[in-house]
Each structure stands twice: as C-alpha cells, then as structure tokens.
C-alpha cells in the first residue's frame, strides 16, 4: 500500500502553495514532513485526503484515488485540533469511530485500552471541555487511530505536549508502524523527525528542497561538524582552509567543515597548541541541514 504523489501542485489564485511535489511513501514506513510555517505541509495533507482538489498532478494510494469509501482505512489528526466540547469522550469517539466504519462495542473496547495506555481511564465519561489541552490532544490522537488505519496522517502530532506525553505518543506511533501502518507526519521539531523517520522531505515555500532517507540526506550533505574542547583560544581556526563556520563555546569551539578530510588538517594545526580534552567529528544534525537549506533560499 504505497502512497505516491506525482508532480502535485496546488495554487490558491496566484499563490502557489505546493509546487511540483513528487513523493513515494512505502508501506509501514514513517515519513516525515519538515517545513517552516506556511511551507505547504497542511495543504499537502489535505490534498492527499481529498479535502482540497489539487491544481495539477496525481495522488494515488495502493493504485487508486483516496475517496470516502476508503475512509475506514485512513486516520487523520488535523493541525486544527477540535472535538465537540459538550460531548463526553465516549460519545465523541463512538460517533467518530462509527464514521470510520466501526461499531459501537468495538469503539468502546478500543477506547478503554487506549485510555488505559495513556493513563487516563477516568476520562471515559467526561466532557471534552473539562479536559486540559494536552489531554484533549490525547483524545484526539485516539480518534485518529482507534479504527486501526492503514494510512495515518499526523499534522504536528506532538505540538503542545509535555515531554512525558510526547514519549507516550511517540511510542504509540512506533507501535502502529510496526503493525503495518504507513505514517506520514509533519513537524517543525527536527529531533522528532530525526528519531522516528526513515524517509523525510523538507518543504520550503511549497517546494521540496531536500528529500530521501535520513542517512542519504546526511551523507550527501557533505559538511560535518567538528567539536573541540580545550582551554586555549581557537579563534585562529576561523581562517583555516576548509572551515565554513566557527562558533565559540564556553570551553572550546564548534566548527563546520566542508568535508571530513578537513578534520585531519585541523588536527595537525592543533598540534602543540595546548591541552585538547576532546576532538570529535560529528554527522550534521537535521537542524543544521534544515537551516542551511531553508535559510539559503531566503537569501
């Protein structure tokens, strides 16, 4: 059940929200969408779900269009969170679950086990408006996955949650993936994507600027980080050939270098420059890549 987007474009009047986006999301994989505000993530999700018609291009899942007769296979957590404030958690989930093709008794059974898992079984008969924002979000998350979808779309699933709850939800997402659900999720928290996704795509102003597997993206980025700890002043490294960026730390510095060979020349340049406690070559973080790629196109 692969989700394929081919040359998808969406225009609102003269504004292009998504520009010629092509993607392939394999079954039971986790795919991360990164991008700043207004990059086109939500618009892309809405097009995948058929809530918005695309201006151009093709979207297919499992070889066909996504239509309402497949809605029992699809789960969606919108960025705009919302539930009926006056309904109880139970009534709410029964209604939403039925709309996803479940029957009442299976909704109640699933809901009980999920509430148990999220350590909030007492919310079963509470009205949603009585819950805190974070707990409402847990309920909303349950509503997106209660029918065991094959394709799950999560728009900023972890925003507004405390670290304990983020861990709880992350684990639930990973479990779903291992049971065969393809998951697409968006975030502007790089560390979540870095931790969870094999495949990712960075969107900027509707255009994919980086896309592929996490490892390939990091490898092809080329640039590395070099961390040096010591008591000396390392400012002279600023002008060392191959050094792109120099950041002074409390007890040393962090360099961005063109490629890993540069580290060796830096290493020799440090000989006899005093006591070095640490010298480490690091892969670039997704954060660095994001700032580099997205920041570059601002200029």
The backbone torsions φ and ψ at residue 18, rounded to the nearest 5 degrees and listed phi first, read -130, 130
Minimum CB distance to another protein smaller for 95 or for 221 = 95
Minimum CB distance to another protein smaller for 99 or for 235 = 99
Among 98, 179, 247, 277, binds another protein (CB under 8 A): 98
Interacting residues with another protein between 7 and 36 (CB under 8 A): 11-13
Among 18, 34, 96, 266, binds another protein (CB under 8 A): 96
The DSSP letter of residue 132 is: -
Strands 243-249 and 252-257: antiparallel
The nearest distance, CB 52 to another protein, in angstroms, is 7
* Torsion angle of C-alpha atoms 40, 28, 151, 289, degrees rounded to 10: -10
Q: Does 235 bind another protein (CB under 8 A)?
A: no
User: Measured between alpha carbons, how far is 36 from 291 in angstroms, rounded to an integer?
Assistant: 10
Among 41, 46, 199, 204, binds another protein (CB under 8 A): 46
Minimum CB distance to another protein smaller for 42 or for 165 = 42
Longest Cα–Cα distance of the chain, Å, equals 75
x/- site string to another protein, residues 53 to 82, per CB under 8 A? xxx------------x--x--x-x-x-xxx
The nearest distance, CB 283 to another protein, in angstroms, is 38
The DSSP letter of residue 270 is: T
Q: Can you say whether residue 28 is alpha, beta or left, with left for phi > 0 and alpha for psi between -120 and 50 degrees?
A: left
- Alpha helix positions (H), 67-154: 89-99, 104-117, 133-145
165 closest CA partner among 120, 113, 108 = 120
Among 44, 135, 137, 143, binds another protein (CB under 8 A): 143
Contact footprint for another protein (CB under 8 A): 11-13, 46, 49, 51-55, 68, 71, 74, 76, 78, 80-85, 87, 91, 95-96, 98-100, 103, 143-144
């Amino acid at each position: 059940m692969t989700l394929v987007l081919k040359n998808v474009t969406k225009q609102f009047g003269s504004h292009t929200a998504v520009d010629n986006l092509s993607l392939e999301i394999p079954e039971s994989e986790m795919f991360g969408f990164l991008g700043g505000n207004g990059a086109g993530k939500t618009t892309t999700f809405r097009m995948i779900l058929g809530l918005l018609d695309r201006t151009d291009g093709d979207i297919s899942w499992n070889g066909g269009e996504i239509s309402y007769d497949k809605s029992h296979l699809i789960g969606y957590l919108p960025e705009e969170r919302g539930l009926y404030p006056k309904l109880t958690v139970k009534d709410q989930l029964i209604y939403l679950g039925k709309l996803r093709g479940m029957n009442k008794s299976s909704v109640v059974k699933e809901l009980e086990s999920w509430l148990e898992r999220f350590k909030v079984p007492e919310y079963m008969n509470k009205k949603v408006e009585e819950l805190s924002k974070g707990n409402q979000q847990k309920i909303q998350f349950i509503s997106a996955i209660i029918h065991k979808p094959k394709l799950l779309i999560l728009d900023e699933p972890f925003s507004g949650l405390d670290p304990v709850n983020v861990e709880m939800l992350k684990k639930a997402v990973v479990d779903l993936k291992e049971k065969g659900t393809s998951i697409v999720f968006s975030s502007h928290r790089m560390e979540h994507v870095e931790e969870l996704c094999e495949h990712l795509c960075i969107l900027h102003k509707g255009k994919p600027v980086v896309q592929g597997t996490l490892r390939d993206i990091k490898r092809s980025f080329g640039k590395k980080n070099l961390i040096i700890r010591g008591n000396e002043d390392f400012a002279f490294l600023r002008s060392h050939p191959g050094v792109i960026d120099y950041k002074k730390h409390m007890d040393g510095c962090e360099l961005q270098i063109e490629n890993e060979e540069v580290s060796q020349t830096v290493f020799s340049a440090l000989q006899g420059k005093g006591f070095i406690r640490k010298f480490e070559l690091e892969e670039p973080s997704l954060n660095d890549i994001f700032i580099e790629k997205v920041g570059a196109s601002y200029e």
